[in-house]
Structure 1
Amino acid sequence: MIPISELLLEYICPIAGGLTATVMFAAPLPDAYRAVRDQGHLGSLNPLPWAFMLGNCYGWVLYGVIQRNFFVYCANVPGLFFAIWLNLQAVKLQYKSYPCHKYSLVSHAEIEKPSPQIEDGEVVAPVEMKREAPPAPLPTTQDTWILFVVLVWLLLTSVLGFQQGTISSDSQQLLIGSTVNLNLVIFYAAPLSTIYTVLQKQSSASIHVPTMLTNTANGVFWFAYGLAVQDWFIAVPNGLGAALGAIQMVLRVLFPAQKVQANQDVKAVVNANVRHEDDHLEKNST
Structure 2
Amino acid sequence: MSVFASLAICKVAKDAAGVAGNIFAFGLFVSPIPTFRRIIRNGSTEMFSGLPYIYSLMNCLICMWYGTPLISHDNILVTTVNSIGAVFQFVYIILFMMSAEKEKKVKMLAWLMGVLGIFAIILIGSLQIDDIVMRRLFVGILSCASLISMFASPLFIIKLVIQTKSVEFMPFYLSLSTFLMSTSFLVYGLLSDDIFIYVPNGIGTILGMTQLILYFYYESKSRRMDAEEPVEVRYNQLLLPARYGPKLELAMLLFGSIIGAITVASLRVTRSCNREELQIFFVLFDGVNKKIYAKISFTFLGKEVICPVGHQDMNLWRVSAHLSSQPLVAALPPPFGSLLPGAEAWGHAEALVSNVSYSSNEERGVRKWIELGSEAISTAFPLWVTIGCVLGLLRPSSFNWVTPKLCTVGLGVIMLGMGMSLTLDDLRSALFMPKEVISGFVLQYSVMPISAFLVSKLLNLPSHYAAGLILVGCCPGGTASNIVTYLARGNVALSVIMTAASTLSAVIMTPFLTAKLAGKYVAVDAAGLLMSTLQVVLLPVLAGAFLVKYFQPFVKFISPLMPPMAVATAAMLSGNAIAQSSSSILMSSGQVILASCLLHASGFFFGYILARMLGLDVSSSRTISIEVGMQNAALGVVLATNHFGDPLTTVPCAVSSVCHSIFGSILAGIWRFSVPAEIKD
TM-score (norm 2): 0.30
Change beyond 3 A, Cα 1:87–1:182: same
The yes-or-no answer on 1:235 pairing with 2:198 is yes
Contact 2:158 2:211 in 1 (8 A): no
**Among 12, 29, 32, the residue aligned to 2:16:** 12
1:62, distance to aligned residue in structure 2 (A)? 0.5
Q: What amino acid does structure 1 have at the position aligned with 2:45?
A: L
Q: CA deviation at 1:33?
A: 3.6
Please say if 1:216 is aligned against 2:179: yes
- Asked whether the 8 Å contact 2:60–2:86 carries over to 1, the reply is yes
SS of the equivalent of 1:67 reads coil
Structure 1 residue 247: deviation in Å? 1.1
Match of 2:98 among 92, 97, 108: 92
Matches within 5 A, 1:1-286: 2-3=5-6, 5-6=9-10, 9-36=13-40, 38-65=41-68, 66-68=71-73, 69-95=75-101, 141-161=107-127, 163=128, 166-256=129-219
> Structure 2 regions of 5+ residues with no counterpart?
224-274, 277-298, 304-681
Give the AA of the match of 2:200: P
Cα distance in 1 for partners of 2:18, 2:159 equals 35
Aligned equivalents of 1:196, 1:10: Cα separation in 2: 35
Return closer, same or farther for 1:55/1:168 CA change in 2, 3 Å cut-off.
Answer: same
Range with bigger deviation, 239-248 or 196-205: 196-205
Q: Distance in 1 between matches of 2:112 and 2:57?
A: 8
CA distance in 2, matches of 1:43, 1:14: 36
Q: Please list the CA deviations of residues 81-124 of structure 1 after superposition, one character each: whole Å capped at 9, or x if unmatched.
A: 101100001111113xx5xxxxxxxxxxxxxxxxxxxxxxxxxx
What's the counterpart of residue 238 of structure 2? none
Post-superposition offset of 1:195: 3.2
Aligned to 1:101: none
Whole-angstrom CA distance in 1 between matches of 2:160 and 2:39: 21
The alpha-carbon deviation at position 44 of structure 1 amounts to 4.5
Q: Conserved in 1, the CA contact under 8 Å of 2:62 and 2:139?
A: yes
Kept after mapping to 1: 8 A contact 2:182/2:202:
yes
Structure 1: unaligned runs, 5 residues or longer: 99-136, 269-286
Paired with 2:189 and 2:156, the residues of 1 have a C-alpha distance of 27
Aligned with 1:216: secondary structure?
Answer: helix
Check the 8 A contact 1:45/1:208 in 2, yes or no: no
Q: CA deviation at 1:75?
A: 1.4
Deviation at 1:34, TM superposition (A): 4.1
Residue 140 to residue 192, structure 1, CA distance change in 2 (3 Å): farther
The Cα shift of 1:146 comes to: 2.0
AA partner of residue 11 (structure 1): D
Distance 2:159 2:198 in 1: 29
Paired residues of 2:158 and 2:170 also in contact (CA < 8 A):
no
Q: Deviations over 1:230-275 (max 9, x none)?
A: 0010000001000000111122123226899xxx9xx99xxxxxxx
Q: Could you say what secondary structure the match of 1:218 adopts?
A: helix
Residues in 2 aligned to 1:15 and 1:228: alpha-carbon distance in whole angstroms = 14
What is the distance in 2 between the residues matched to 1:140 and 1:199? 29
Larger relative CO (CA 8 A, sep 6+): 1 or 2?
1
Query: What is residue 401 of structure 2 aligned with on the other side?
Result: none
* Structure having the higher Rg: 2
In 2, Cα distance between equivalents of 1:138 and 1:255: 29
**How far is the alpha carbon of 1:27 from its aligned partner?**
1.3
Distance, in Å, in 2 between the alignment partners of 1:223 and 1:178 is 16
**1:18-44 residue CA offsets vs partner (Å, 9 max, x unmatched):** 1111221121124314422x2111234
Contact 1:46 1:206 in 2 (8 A): no
- Kept in 2, the 8 Å contact 1:64–1:72? The answer is yes
Aligned partners of 2:210, 2:66: CA distance in 1, in Å? 28
Contact 1:160/1:172, CA 8 A, preserved across alignment:
yes
Percent identity between the aligned chains?
23
Q: 1:16 to 1:2 in 2, by over 3 A?
A: farther
* Residues 184 and 138 (structure 1), Cα distance of their counterparts in 2 relative to 1, 3 Å cut: closer
- TM-score of the pair, normalised by structure 1: 0.69
Partner letter of residue 74 of structure 1? T
Q: Which amino acid aligns with 1:152?
A: I
Secondary structure class of the residue paired with 1:203: coil
User: How far apart in 1 are the matches of 2:95 and 2:177?
Assistant: 22
Please state whether the residue corresponding to 1:141 is helix, strand or coil: helix
How far residue 5 of structure 1 moved from its aligned partner, in angstroms, is 4.8
Question: In 2, Cα distance between the equivalents of 1:228 and 1:155?
Answer: 31
Q: Distance in 1 between matches of 2:134 and 2:163?
A: 45
* Structure 1 residues 205 and 44: alpha-carbon distance in aligned structure 2, compared to 1, 3 A threshold: farther
Q: Assess, with a 3 A threshold, how the Cα gap between structure 1 residues 50 and 178 changes in structure 2: closer, same or farther.
A: same
2:483 aligned partner: none
